[in-house]
Amino acid sequence: MITLTNISKRIGGRTLFEEVNFTFNDNCRYGLTGPNGSGKSTLLKIVMGLESPTSGTISLPKKVGFMKQQIEEFAECTILDTVIMGNKRLWDAMVERDRLYEVEMTDAIGMRLGDLEEIIAEEDGYSAESQAEIFLAGMSIPEDFFRKKMAEIPTDRQFRVLLCQALFGSPQALLLDEPTNHLDLESISWLEQFLHSYEGTLVVISHDRHFLNSICTSIADIDYETIITYPGNYDAMLVVKTAVRARAEDENKAKEKKISQLKEFVAKFGAGTRASQVQSRIREIDRLQPFDLKKSNIQRPYIRFGQIEKPSGQIVFKVDRISKSYGDHRVIEKFSCEIHRGDKVAIIGNNGRGKTTLLKLFAKLLTPDSGKIVFGSNIDVGYFPQNHHDALDKHSDETAFDWLKGRKDIVFDQDARGILGKMLFTGDDAFKSLRKLSGGETARLILGGLMLITPNTLLLDEPNGHLDLEAVSALAWGIEDFKGTAIVASHDRGMIDNFATKIIAFEEDGLHFFEGPLEEYLSKKSLARK
């Protein structure tokens, strides 16, 4: 159980939480939700003591698992040791025991060693390595990595090890901030199964709607400067929250209409002989005053990529046995496929496998080492790079408005403002400099640029990486509605399920092209493994 008592947090002149009293209960799995910048990660840091609240206190169980982000702290540690460090009491006892065995034995040291062995036994330390190996296998870490140092394995695998560290040692509470970011689909499935059987208090932040819907028993939503709990998963919360907000808005509208009628009566008869009736109406006006509705965090951009002016040919890309390497590292080998007009293709696979490379080959930003890609007629590509710096200069003082207007030769101001409004740039936000945009704002601006130029072929590389849940949903619908061809690299199963009709999968044994949706691909893969 985690208890927040009168927690407030202010950053500059902005209030994230105000006098929050909330309890995360045992045997409950909470999704912590809210738009980018609402304070989700800040709240987890406050709970873990990594950041101080403006006021208030936190009550925690003794053993809390928390997914760290600083992989550099563990660069010289072995993979197994890094995982076992997740149980601090056990790790400290093991380190001290090993140190004492290297010094001259005395009665005092012998007594201390006895105490340490007792602690190690209580923490199930004699099976610690085998338990750590189970977690690592679940996260698809190869066995020959287990004795390596963290710095010797790929970065995305290091983050997986830190997730194993958080899960290790039977923590009474578990705090996970975007745990699926560096996982492939199989590892996400393993994590879901583990969390379903977890009996402590779970608080998880994720932009993966499918993941939240799968694991959550409750949603703790940061809104109106507090935390509001809803039973059920994310979709259930959204239905209830939207209905409550709509009902409150309808009640205010009804009150405003009634007040207008009463004011007309007062104005008409205020100076006449019906004084008692007028006073009665004035009292009724005071009673009916609509309550102040704070701004809710439910905001969804409107993402539609527009009417295509010139369709591409029937065959968009014909890929013939292409290969691509970086030095000795082969990422694509003799891969062939055909992409047709109107196809919606999801590229899936672990980070570092070659998803970005393949998209850059389609975008003519790279050329294959061998083989060839035949580009169809009238292809007009809109490219969303994983690295936003490739699309715009984040060091520039150019405004979002001016950047957007520069996407086409002729753009009227009202068209640019219309796009910015759809992408939630309201008021003066349109005139922010590029350097001051958040990750989510930058992603929405680049998508807005694609909406403005109306390409017939979209190449999107992890476009959902900095978007909140509602923006991801809007993007999925925008891709599904798009009349052209879309090829999208993503780890988000909910988004992929919405639009993908074909799959390109980077697997351990190479690159696969599957004509069908994600669920069919995963089902076929599972059957092949049996």
pLDDT attached to residue 105: 82
Alpha helices in 59-101, H assignment, sequence order:
79-84, 88-100
Can you give the pLDDT at residue 201? 94
Confidence (pLDDT) at 272: 60
Residue 183's closest CA among 239, 140, 134? 140
Q: Is the full-model pTM beyond 0.85?
A: no
The structure tokens 């790929």 sit at 154
Q: Which domains does the chain have, with CATH numbers?
A: 2-236 (3.40.50.300), 249-287 (no CATH), 315-529 (3.40.50.300)
**Token pair listed for 104:** 């001259």
User: Residue 351 has what DSSP assignment?
Assistant: T
Q: Is the pLDDT of residue 317 over 90?
A: yes
Q: Report the distance separating Cα 279 and Cα 266, nearest Å.
A: 8
pLDDT band at 223 (very low <50, low <70, confident <90, very high): confident
pLDDT at 176: 92
pLDDT at 428 over 70: yes
Q: Kindly indicate the confidence band of residue 240, based on its pLDDT and cuts at 50, 70 and 90.
A: confident
**What's the pLDDT at 351?**
75
What tokens does 288 get? 């009916």
The string of pLDDT tens digits covering residues 19-73 is 889 999 989 999 998 877 778 888 989 998 888 999 999 999 989 999 888 888 8
Higher pLDDT, 185 or 364: 364
Q: What percent of the chain has pLDDT over 90?
A: 40
**Shortest CA distance to 172 belongs to which of 196, 201, 195, 192?**
201
* pLDDT of 297: 58
Residue 248 confidence (pLDDT): 60
Residue 296 pLDDT exceeds 70: no
φ, ψ (nearest 5 deg) of residue 465: -55, -35
The string of pLDDT tens digits covering residues 461-493 is 999 878 888 888 889 999 999 999 999 999 888
Identify the H or E element spanning 55: strand 55-59
CB 410 within 8 A of CB 455: no
Q: Contact, 231 vs 224, CB < 8 A? A: no
Predicted pLDDT of residue 345 = 96
Rounded (to 5) percent helix, strand, coil in the chain: 45, 25, 35
Contact 81, 116 (CB under 8 A): no
- Closest by CA to 226, choosing from 2, 15, 3, 468, is 15
Measure Cα distances from 336 to 153, 272, 318, 459, 505 in Å.
Answer: 30, 88, 8, 18, 13
Name the percent of the chain lying above pLDDT 70: 90
Note the pLDDT of residue 77: 92
Mean pLDDT lowest among 209-213, 283-287, 311-315, 450-454: 283-287
Strands 55-59 and 173-177 come out as unpaired
Residue 190 has what pLDDT?
A: 87
pLDDT in tens, 96-148: 898 888 888 888 888 999 999 999 999 888 899 999 999 999 888 889 999 99
Residue 182 reports pLDDT greater than 90: no
Q: What is the pLDDT of residue 255?
A: 66
φ, ψ of residue 221 in degrees (nearest 5): -100, 125
Q: Is the pLDDT of residue 291 over 60?
A: no
The residue whose two tokens read 């009996």 is 199
In the DSSP assignment, the letter for residue 225 is T
Mention every residue, 6+ apart, whose C-beta is less than 8 A from residue 43. Answer: 9, 16, 17, 32, 222
Backbone angles phi, psi at 328, to 5 degrees: -90, 0
CA distances in angstroms from 288 to 95, 295, 297, listed in the order given: 68, 21, 26
pLDDT of residue 1: 87
pLDDT band at 242 (very low <50, low <70, confident <90, very high): confident
